Structure 1
Amino acid sequence: MKNISFYIIGLLFLFLPQFIHAQTTDTDVNSFLDKAEKELYTNPQQAAYYATKARAMATSSSQQSQALYIYAQAEKLLGDFDGCIQALYEADALVSKNENDLKGHIYNLMSVGYCNLGDYTKAINLSDKAISLFKTENDSLNLALCYNNRGIIHTYINEFQQAERFLKQALAINRSSKNLKSIASNLNNLCLFEGNIEEQLEWINEAIIINKHLNATWSLGENYNNLGKLYYYAHKYPQAIAALEKAYQLALNIGAKGVICDNYEYSALVYSAIGDYRTAYEKQTSLYALSKEIQSENKLRTVEQRIAQEKLLAQQQKEELQQQEYKIRLLRRNIVTILTVAALVAIIGFLLHQRFKRKKKIQLLNAQYRIEQSEHEIAKLKMQKQKAELENVQHALETSKQETTNFAVFLQSRNELLDKIQEQVRQGYRMEKQELIPHLKKINAFISQYQATNKNNSMTLQTIDEKMKEFLAHLTERHPNLTQGEKHLASLLRVNLSTKEIAMLTGNTPKTINMNRYRLRKALGLSSEEDLIAYIQSI
């Protein structure tokens, strides 16, 4: 069975190239457009080439406008803003009325182009059009792209608060959709102006990590430029120079002259700040020369584009003729091979489907087993937790019972003391005067002896007071206006002491204790039907 499967797969790969050569022109155009988009931030020059080739091969206005839009993006990255604007106007003329998505992208990129050319009013108007279109389509991702470019425009006119607001709106949308490429762009643009340096350093480093992952060379060059500028703001000049050198190498590798111009400008600022005026002057001179070169190239850009497009069209016509001849030769073989491969694909599909079903079934059984094991462990842990809680409650209950017993013994001993003293006083009533003084001394000695043995009882009271601290804290939180006497009475009632026992303990009469209980009930806001002790014990 395995040998048959390998044989079938071998036949499939043998005939697969023939079907690749049989693709339509529309598929070829889409392929070039995809290549251009992938190379856009890695190699803008190559992206411009692919976009030009796609436009030459395109048979519909929709494909032509899409190719022009990608070409305009590449020209912007290469620093040719005039060429970018021209391509966008051509794309706008070709795009149909119902293609709001592409039209919004065109207006959005136009706004950045006009911003770089210094026409900020036109840039803002175009940005508003793009935002309106994407709001109508309820397209949050492209709306975030508009907010990003709008933030750049406000940065150019030194409206940094407005810029930060738009950029953070874009960042929030892109983070929610996990759009890494756009997140990196937002983070980079939030570092175009001086703000909270520590926060901006975190942003730019996050952008660098993302663009390294995406292999976006142009974006990395811009990131390191902005990192160098942030270090310049923070007066960390060695780090600024190191970052700017990285940016220069990246921009030089892909011919991003706009990024190199920014690099010269920031480097001149850093070298001037550290007192190396010679190097700063050299950077400024290089900036001037490159800016002049870009301006000169822009004048020739239209002619070069027309010549390149004519050459590409001629080459494309030649390639299409060769492809047609080749397709005719392959047609006879394709008729037979299509039927053969279709049957083979059906067999392979059936086998793969059966294998996939078995694999999924095994995975499902394994998952169910793991779930059952997890549930068993959870139940076991719950039982252990409940057992520990029960033991803690039992321990607390035993402790409480012991303390209550100790307190009862303490009350009983005090009552016995008072009874004995009372009995001895009564005996003194019947004694003669000369017998009374020795009798009083005997009573005094008896009291002193009790006081000496009263330390354990004091410890019992102290323990009860400590246990009452948490209760008193909750009581004070609910009823902050209670007096100390009322709090003390509540503590005694909480341990189920009777009025008589409280009177003996505090040295007051039972009547006084009843009056105090009435005042406490009133202070707690309880009606006569409510149980005072039950309420206190619930706190």
Structure 2
Amino acid sequence: MSKYYISFSFIFIICLSVNGQIDLRNIKLKLKKTSNSSERVKLITEIINYYQNRNLSDSTFFYAEKLKYIADKNNDSLVHAKYYTLKAKTYYLNSDYINTEKFALKAIKIYRNNNLVEDVANTQLILGNIYQIQDNNKSALQNFTEALPYLKNKDKISGLLGLAAVHGQINNLEAALNYYNEAYKLSTTLNLEEYKFDIYNGLSAVYNNSGDYEKALESLEKALTETKKNNRYLAQVVCYHNIGYLQKNLKNFREAKVTFENGISIFNKISNTYMMASIYMYYSEVIAELGNISGAEDYILKSENLFNEINNSSTKPSILNIKAKIEGFKGDHYKAIDYLKQANSIKHIDDIEIAEKNKLLLANFYDKIGDVNNAYKAYKNYTQFKDSIRNSQNKQKIERLKLQFDISEYQQDLKTKEQELNLLNEAKKASNYRNTLLFLLACGLVTFIYRQRKLNKAKEFALIAEKKVITLKEEKLSSEMAVKNTEITEYAIHISERNRMLEYFTNEIKKIKAQSDNTEVKSQLQNLQFYAEENLDINREKIIYNSNIKNTEQSFISKLKEKYPNLTPKEIKVATYALLKMSSKTISNQMGISIQSVNNYRFTIRKKLNIPKNKSIDEYLRDLN
């Protein structure tokens, strides 16, 4: 069964530390009476936290400026840092991530200058969250990882959830599960039930991406149970939405219908128009599949009107897809085609999956009405779009592999820096001992030997780290080769499918040509037949060529590594392409490097393999293979 992705984002909001219920009037009264700067800073901070908790931005900014006035007046950098942090939190709550980053970085700079590691960590938590929302996973990971050792209680749970979300986004599912489980254990230990919803919701996304739909649904049911404990109605609707969507995609339409109806039953307790519109949209699709066509028409209209109210055009392709399906159930294929043509004319579509479905559905409807030419054109558009999507997905896979490699390098750098810091501390201690006992030659000698041993250990650590980097690079090369082989296999299957389609059209053209008496029509059909047969021959050659590439690479790389272990992964890659008689320009395009770099690699390969001047690299490599 293919893997489905739940449309509603499984993004949790990291809880910002704010005070609970306070006597705001009493605090403002105290603020008026006191002239002590420290007391005023404390009271203003409580007021700002109160307003932040209620998302009252104007009041928050007003009192933040009072804090800035005190900081400027006393030239107090730490009060400035507190001001920057509170501003960053407010901008974050208003989804202004540019200003959030700007003020958070200012605060971190001051905290670091004063060695306030816990304040640095709490501010990095804000940065990590905005980077995760913006899909800047590398920066998010860096901030969450650096902050985690210094976070406590609620903030530590938020840090673990942040790391889990980042690893989930880059498909490092095992790491994501580990962090969610750590967050669950800590929230249970601290008896903080309010985090259970985010944990279960996040776990469901991880299980869904891994294809374990049973566990995904189980986690969503647990998340729903948590929302019912304290009447979090919007969170309940989100759970009903996600459960129903997953059930719908698994073709469990009756279960999905009941789930969506449970969500609709509490619409009177929420004000989120987007969520209501989204549930109405998918509910109409479900009841259409169950045969309630008039009901489906009513609910798709409700959904469309709500989306229009909030000026949301991103769901238009989905709306038109469902309308086309409804018309299909009614037997009005021409009206269904009109809806799908509208959907396919939309230039900017966020949901690639629905765009692909609309193109294929249009080809199917043309086929149902017997319009062979338009069916062929629509199917051709669909296959071209699908090819471009596959290429894009393969590029994304490679980017994820690169990101995972970068993360491994970053984690290794952190360990190395930790070792360097330990060595630096040890060196400082050694220096203090040496200054104290300098007049004793014997003690000086002992100190020298001690330092030498430390340096030797450092070299050993560096050597181990270098070996790990080489291993990671080799693993990366293997992964890239695996991706490429998979891509070639999929490409061959795709061409085979296309050949079958072209053969079908060729046979149909021959039949039509034989039956037609019109000379002009016969001439056009002859041209179309020639085009189809020519594409068949080209596609067969492509299958043979790509098969040769796939068969050649693995055996050749194994021989090359065995005979010349000193070759780097990139040199092996260039040698493989050279064996396939690729030009330097083609190799540079394949590897994303300059032609000069390819020529440099060729020179290095020639030198390492001792290739004679009178022999070309590809000739030598063919002999070796």
Please state which band the TM-score falls in when normalised by the shorter chain: 0.3 to 0.5
- Computing the radius of gyration from Cα coordinates, the structure with the larger value is 1
TM-score under structure 1 normalisation?
A: 0.43
TM-score under structure 2 normalisation?
A: 0.38
